[in-house]
Chain A
Amino acid sequence: VIKKRIYYKKHGFNSEKNKFLTYSNVTMNKIDVIDFQKLQALRIKILKACSHSNEGHVPSAFSILDILYSLYILLPKTSNIDFTKNDIFVLSKGHAALALYAILEEANIIGSEWVDTFGDFESNFGGHPDMNKIPGVRASTGSLGHGLPITLGKILAKRTKKIEFRAYCLIGDGELNEGSIWESLMLASHHSMKELTVIIDSNRSGDRALNLGSLESKFNSLGFDTKNVDGHSHKDLVSSFTNFHDYKPTAVIAQTIKGYGISELENNPAWHHAAPTQEQLATFIKDLM
Chain B
Amino acid sequence: VRKTFTSVAAKIINENKNTALLLGDIGVYGFRDVLNAYPERSFNIGILEQSMVSIAAGLASEGIIPIIHTIAPFIVERALEQIKVDFGYQKLPGNFVSVGASFDYAKLGCTHHCPADVNILNNIPGVNIFIPGHAKEFENQLSHNWSSGKINYYRLSEQTNSESIDLGLGEIRKLKSGSRGVLIAVGPLLREVLESVSELDIEIHYSNSITGLKSMKIQSEFPGKKVIIVEPYYSGTFLLKIIEQVSVNGCEVMQIGVPKKFIEKYGTYQEQLHYLELDPLSIRNSVENFINK
Contact = CB atoms under 8 A, between A and B. Distances in A.
B40 A153 contact: no
A160 B85 CA distance: 25
A132 B90 contact: yes
Contacts of B60: 153
A152 B57 CA distance: 10
Interface string B38-80: 0011010110101111111111111110100000000000000
A87 to B, nearest CB: 13
- The B interface is mostly helix, strand or loop, or mixed, namely helix
Contact of A187 (B55, B57, B86): B55
A184 B45 CA distance: 10
B14 to A, nearest CB: 14
Contacts of B54: 146, 148-150, 152-153, 180, 184
B64 A160 contact: yes
Contact of B51 (A154, A158, A184): A184
Contacts of B46: 183, 186-187
Interface string A5-29: 0000000000000000000000000
B85 A140 contact: yes
User: Which interface class (under 10, 10 to 19, 20 to 34, 35 or more) fits B?
Assistant: 20 to 34
A154 B86 CA distance: 13
Nearest to B58: A153
Nearest to B47: A183
Contacts of A138: 61
Contacts, number: 98
A17 B54 CA distance: 41
A145 interface: yes
- The A interface is mostly helix, strand or loop, or mixed, namely helix
Contact of A157 (B48, B62, B90, B91): B62
Given A146-B82, A187-B45, A157 B63 contact: yes
A153 B50 contact: no
A252 B40 CA distance: 27
Contacts of B40: 156, 159-160
Interface residues of A, number: 29
Contact of A179 (B50, B86, B91): B50
Nearest to A151: B58
Contacts of A161: 62
A278 to B, nearest CB: 34
Nearest to B52: A149
- Which of B53, B58, B90 counts the most chain A CB atoms within 10 A? B58
A146 B45 contact: no
Contacts of B82: 146, 149, 180
Given A138-B61, A180-B50, A153 B56 contact: yes
A143 B83 CA distance: 12
A47 interface: no
Given A157-B64, A179-B50, A183-B50, A143 B85 contact: yes
A187 B51 contact: yes
A131 interface: yes
Interface string A258-277: 00000000000000000000
Contact of A158 (B41, B52, B62): B62
Contact of A150 (B17, B48, B64, B86): B86
Nearest to B81: A143
Nearest to A157: B62
Interface of A: 131-132, 138-140, 142-143, 145-146, 148-161, 179-180, 183-184, 186-187
Given A132-B91, A150-B54, A157-B58, 4 more contacts: A149-B58, A150-B86, A154-B58, A161-B62
10 contacts: A139-B61, A146-B54, A148-B54, A152-B58, A154-B62, A156-B41, A157-B59, A157-B62, A158-B62, A159-B40
